[in-house]
A and B are shown apart, each in its own frame.
Chain A
Amino acid sequence: GEDVEQSLFLSVREGDSSVINCTYTDSSSTYLYWYKQEPGAGLQLLTYIFSNMDMKQDQRLTVLLNKKDKHLSLRIADTQTGDSAIYFCADHTGNTPLVFGKGTRLSVIA
């Protein structure tokens, strides 16, 4: 079945850019998502990208998709302490359920 992989931890200084990476295995993926989860909270949809796009930008967030390498990244510009959270990459293929990565814990150092 589909597998989605993420690195588990990332630490950045406040004001720097953060880049969270994700790889997936199913070449027929249709939508790829980034969700943010703060401690004790639900999942907040941050952004998503359709598989026929290479890049999507939304304010401080930039998503890059390399379909050839099955690699997705989320760049957060000017990272703030409020960005500290777990970020989940998730993949949708056809009518199958969402497949989540294990999540990347982002720590922002003031």
Chain B
Amino acid sequence: DTEVTQTPKHLVMGMTNKKSLKCEQHMGHRAMYWYKQKAKKPPELMFVYSYEKLSINESVPSRFSPECPNSSLLNLHLHALQPEDSALYLCASSSRAGTDTQYFGPGTRLTVL
């Protein structure tokens, strides 16, 4: 089973709202990733967690706050977002961070009004 699940599938929020995106995998992977993808562009890496510790933060604004409560779960907390943050947010996981194959979830389509 190479499934990564993400909830919700769609999210619409105002600029003053606080919301969270969730990602889950049960493949025993110890690395999890958040990517942001704008229309007609490749995914851009935001964060990498390795063994539940944040290992890479690609200079993401603080209005995005990741959390890895355990090895199977990854959250992305959103607060005071801007309309330009509207995008598809993809979660991925791999056995370990580095050169291991990444498996992606279906994404959350976020619209910020």
Contact = CB atoms under 8 A, between A and B. Distances in A.
A36 B92 CA distance: 14
Contacts of A24: none
B97 A33 contact: no
Interface of A: 30-31, 33, 35, 40-45, 48, 88, 92-95, 97-98, 100-103
A45 B104 contact: yes
Contacts of B101: 31, 33, 45, 48
6 contacts: A31-B99, A42-B4, A42-B104, A45-B2, A98-B45, A100-B43
Nearest to A41: B106
Nearest to A4: B42
Contacts of B48: 97
B99 A30 contact: yes
Interface string B42-53: 110100100000
Interface of B: 2, 4, 6, 40-43, 45, 48, 56, 58, 90, 92, 97-99, 101-107, 109
B107 to A, nearest CB: 5
A100 B102 CA distance: 12
Contacts of A95: 97-99
Contacts of A103: 40-42
A55 B109 CA distance: 36
A95 to B, nearest CB: 4
A42 B98 contact: no
User: Residue among A31, A40, A43, A45 with the most chain B CB within 10 A?
Assistant: A43
Contacts of B2: 45
B102 A98 contact: yes
B43 A43 contact: yes
B56 A97 contact: yes
